[in-house]
A and B are shown apart, each in its own frame.
Chain A
């Protein structure tokens, strides 16, 4: 190519601003991508100054530590309850809780469903890596049938440990829920779609329409014991058939 293309100075997206780098995620983990999307969206929506992140007790906390906004992190499971109360006393703050699929679907399920049912004006971001990431890949409510984990050494058997759970679909029918969706970040196109979902969910909070949840499929190379590229294939072939992408609820106004 001999002809020079004019370089445009218009940024495609804002640079993420993290409080500390590098992030402590394993290489090939998708959490970093999801946190980057989160940062982009809150910058683009101009809510960074009002944003407060409630990180979970799992690998999601690593990202929360890095976000250059006010954050709280550590407890495993109760993020939705903490965020509910903080939002009620600071209604103008922009509040989201980031949770692992394990904390949300198991130990924190009561608070997750109760918060959705109350229609709390907060956003919950779920990281679905089909296992307990931080503690070594054990069975999570989202673990696929047949998937081998340290606590399902013969593979998940529905007779023993039930079927995979679907968080957004579970709460979508509740009247308090304004938005429920599932996305993935394993391809660039999907990243853009997922970013749109995040924006939609956050807009519901801005419009005070009720509870929003976005679940992200996310690779966990460490516990899946797969290379980062094989993880992409795993998401395509195993995760997507079980966990459909898309919006399960998207209301425009309160009933």
Chain B
């Protein structure tokens, strides 16, 4: 029987990693996700794992890389300014095709933002890939149980495609508590990690040289062709989304993360008043479910993006539904107060929906 517990989103990240067989965690404290490190510091030593508090996020991501070189699963987690510092190491991991998982419990930016309150300002930053124009998968859960599932899925995707994979949550999701069923998800077979660095005596005398310099191992067109081919496979097989009451909707709300929860509530409130609103929730932010969104937008005829930021998701939505439907936007200006505690409430979304219909 699977165990059912109460867990915060942040603890669910740590639990999921351990359920996925990841015993290695590296990180640097930052609100609102330090609880992930606290959990790992407590639990990993008990199972012979490795917990290491790094000298900063840049080093944490390089430690992630170092651990993943062994072929073992490894995790780091951070929040927005930390992701900024990780850009170089993440780009190295993409180039050398070293799989691992990064969790970004995003907080309001830019800069130090509010010092750790909610916001969804990382969207464009994490979905446009790393420098060099190469993308990595980004999964966006909207509940504690999805965090638990998607962190495990992220490890699977990472190992399947030899690609860095990110899970993007936020302050609200990380800090809220919900029921969670503890179990290991089976996502299917994975290729052997024959590239891992273990010492030649442990791989039949073969040696590997993993290099982060584009074009030295493969020719440059070859490198980009390989990355493109891999991206295409990920787009074909891993694009995920969910719709809610979208079949007969006259207006389609598009949202992810905490604003998707709030939007779902707004859809229910609208339906109670006889207003046909629906929700489209991208689950993979890259690859973005463009085709599916276009189809749904065509049916509804009107799209409203709800996002606690000046607009990142909105750009992807606009490019997906261009020429099909107008795109309206309810962003950070719609918080119920301008203070750090401000949130976009369902009532505000409903008001917008009523104005648009």
Contact = CB atoms under 8 A, between A and B. Distances in A.
Given A49-B201, A49-B202, A110 B55 contact: yes
A72 B52 contact: no
B42 interface: no
Given A49-B202, A70-B200, A86 B66 contact: yes
A82 interface: yes
A70 B67 contact: no
Contact of B72 (A19, A52, A57, A89): A89
Point out which of B52, B74, B199 has the most chain A C-beta atoms below 10 A from its C-beta: B199
Contact of B66 (A19, A71, A83): A83
A147 interface: no
A43 interface: no
Interface string B20-56: 0000101000000000000000000000001010111
Contacts of A69: 199-200, 207
B187 interface: no
Interface string A78-97: 10011111101110011000
Interface string A166-199: 0000000000000000000000000000000000
A68 B207 contact: yes
Interface string A130-163: 0000000000000000000000000000000000
Contact of A70 (B26, B59, B207): B207
Contacts of A74: 92, 95-96, 211-213
Contact of B67 (A68, A75, A85): A85
Contacts, number: 125
Interface residues of B, number: 39
Contacts of A85: 24, 26, 50, 52, 62-67, 74
Contacts of A51: 199
Given A65-B209, A110-B55, A110-B56, A89 B67 contact: yes
B301 to A, nearest CB: 50
Contacts of A71: 197, 207-210
B88 A50 contact: no
B27 to A, nearest CB: 12
B295 interface: no
Contacts of A90: 70, 198
A152 B50 CA distance: 44
A55 to B, nearest CB: 9
Nearest to B203: A70
B69 interface: yes
A48 interface: yes
Contacts of B58: 78
B89 A19 contact: no
A169 B54 CA distance: 23
Contacts of B89: 75, 78
A114 B209 contact: no
Given A81-B66, A114-B55, A93 B198 contact: yes
Contacts of B66: 54, 81-86
B211 A73 contact: yes
> Which 10 pairs, one residue from A and one from B, show the smallest C-beta to C-beta distance?
A49-B201, A74-B212, A85-B66, A85-B63, A82-B66, A114-B55, A78-B62, A70-B197, A50-B199, A86-B66
11 contacts: A65-B216, A69-B207, A74-B92, A74-B213, A75-B212, A78-B58, A81-B55, A86-B69, A93-B198, A110-B55, A114-B59
Interface of B: 24, 26, 50, 52, 54-56, 58-59, 62-67, 69-70, 72, 74, 88-89, 92, 95-96, 197-203, 207-213, 216
Given A72-B69, A75-B92, A82-B62, 7 more contacts: A49-B199, A50-B201, A52-B197, A68-B207, A85-B64, A85-B74, A93-B197
